[in-house]
Amino acid sequence: MLVLLLLGLLAPVVYSYASTMARPSSLPLSVRTVEWIRSHHGAWLVDTAERYWYSWHTPKKGGPTLRRLPTVGLRLARTTVAPRSPHAARPYRPPRIQPVLHPPLPGEGVWRRVGPDVRGAPPLLVTTFRSDRDYPRVVAYVAWIDHTRTRLGLYPGRYEPPGASPRGPMEVPPGERRRLVATFNSGFTYGDGHGGFVVDGRTAEPLRSGDGTVVAYRDGHVNIVSWNGGGQPGPSVVLARQNLPLIVVRGRPSPLLDSRRNWGNTLGDAVRVWRSGLGIDRRGNLIYLAADLQTVKTLAAALVRAGAVRAIELDINPEWPTFVAYSGWGARGPLKVVPNGQQPATRYLVPDDRDFFAVYRTNGRLPATVPFR
């Protein structure tokens, strides 16, 4: 009788787990299992286990520094560069990121091209640098996106955001891969961040006043702002994605970083984890940055050093930060700029569970849209 009672109690749990694991997903079974436990009143169990794990693996300050920087994601594309006219204006390139640690390592903070040119200049530059004096082996991976040569896209994933309709391809549309420059992760799940999400006039989740917001406009330019335009943006907005308040304001880390606001549920309540962020420089170009062993304060400081005047935090924890560049048109030669071992370089070329950004070469003076085909 007791056995039958136990089976009756466990049957709904087993069914819920099995049916969830049977659903299509881009995540490995281990990650899906942890996510399922969290969402079924088991967050305390996961947090307790992870707290013990992190207490045994707490990173120590100091130690030997690196002798050389990793070159992951910095391979040059084999492309033919057209000669520039002697009368043509020299394209803008961001200044070298000034080193935190001295002496700088070879190539540290030096921007390098990856992928083919657009209108005679690279639309994407990447670099690495050591971002923290206390942790001299920590490397920040950075990408700079030229807004004059690119267009930004935002796509719902298979399950995030929950209110997205239609969801579209949940990957980079095959018809647009001919002009794909890069792809990168978005922000928190809606359940964790409650941020707004808008694409091409369709509001999956209403925009919230005061949240940091990535915005792209019909004329092609992008911005990162503290939103105050109401829950439904006007027709000039192509896309908007929110994730908590700004972490960089007027070229400095935000004073809100000293508040008790939750800047993300980190594994095991660990403070220093993989974090990613997106900033904008004084010329309107985007700056993506991801690094391990980051607090929200050190992430903001690294974005400022990379040139951001405003920035938001994107997704955190080791499974999620992803930036992929493509060494050739047609999504050929995907290169991991961020060395995420839990995600393949082909992430976002197949359906993914979470929403993401895509960077395309500009299509001229046509009004900007987010193509779903």
Per-residue model confidence as pLDDT tens digits over 309-327: 999 999 998 899 999 999 9
96-139 pLDDT, tens digit per residue, is: 999 999 999 999 999 999 899 999 999 999 999 999 999 999 99
Cα 348 from Cα 129, distance rounded (Å): 26
pLDDT mean across residues, the chain: 86
Q: Domain segments of the chain: what residues?
A: 2-56, 112-361
Cα 96 from Cα 110, distance rounded (Å): 5
What pLDDT was estimated at residue 232?
86
pLDDT at 16 over 80: no
**In contact, 126 and 73? CB cutoff 8 Å:** yes
Comparing 336 with 22, which gets the higher pLDDT? 336
The full length of the chain comes to: 373
Band of residue 63 on the pLDDT scale cut at 50, 70, 90: confident
What pLDDT was estimated at residue 193?
85
Name the nearest CA neighbour of 167 among 354, 27, 364, 365: 354
What's the token pair of residue 90? Answer: 């020299």
Q: Which of 88-102, 215-229, 231-245 has the lowest mean pLDDT?
A: 88-102
**In contact, 183 and 322? CB cutoff 8 Å:** yes
pLDDT at 78 over 50: no
What pLDDT was estimated at residue 55?
63
pLDDT at 358 over 90: yes
Cα 11 from Cα 2, distance rounded (Å): 14
Residues 6+ apart with CB under 8 A from 18: none
The pair phi, psi for residue 21, each rounded to 5°, is -65, -25
Band of residue 90 on the pLDDT scale cut at 50, 70, 90: confident
What pLDDT was estimated at residue 298?
95
pLDDT at 290 over 70: yes
Comparing 271 with 179, which gets the higher pLDDT? 179
Of the ranges 12-16, 47-51, 236-240, which is most confident? 236-240
Cα 46 from Cα 32, distance rounded (Å): 13
What pLDDT was estimated at residue 132?
93
What pLDDT was estimated at residue 25?
72
Residues 6+ apart with CB under 8 A from 219: 236, 367, 368
Cα 241 from Cα 206, distance rounded (Å): 10
Band of residue 280 on the pLDDT scale cut at 50, 70, 90: very high
pTM value is 0.91
Q: Where are the beta strands (DSSP E) in the chain?
A: 112-113, 124-130, 139-145, 150-155, 180-185, 197-199, 202-205, 212-217, 222-226, 237-242, 248-249, 252-253, 273-280, 286-294, 310-316, 323-328, 332-336, 356-361
**In contact, 325 and 124? CB cutoff 8 Å:** yes
**Inter-CA distances, 208 with 226, 230, 235, 245, 265, Å:** 10, 7, 18, 10, 20
**For residue 115, what is the enclosing H or E element?**
none
**Inter-CA distances, 133 with 101, 258, 359, Å:** 6, 20, 32
**HSE on the CB side for 17, CA within 13 Å?**
14
pLDDT at 172 over 70: yes
Residue 143 DSSP symbol = E
Q: Which of 72-86, 128-142, 150-164, 248-262 has the lowest mean pLDDT?
A: 72-86
What pLDDT was estimated at residue 314?
97
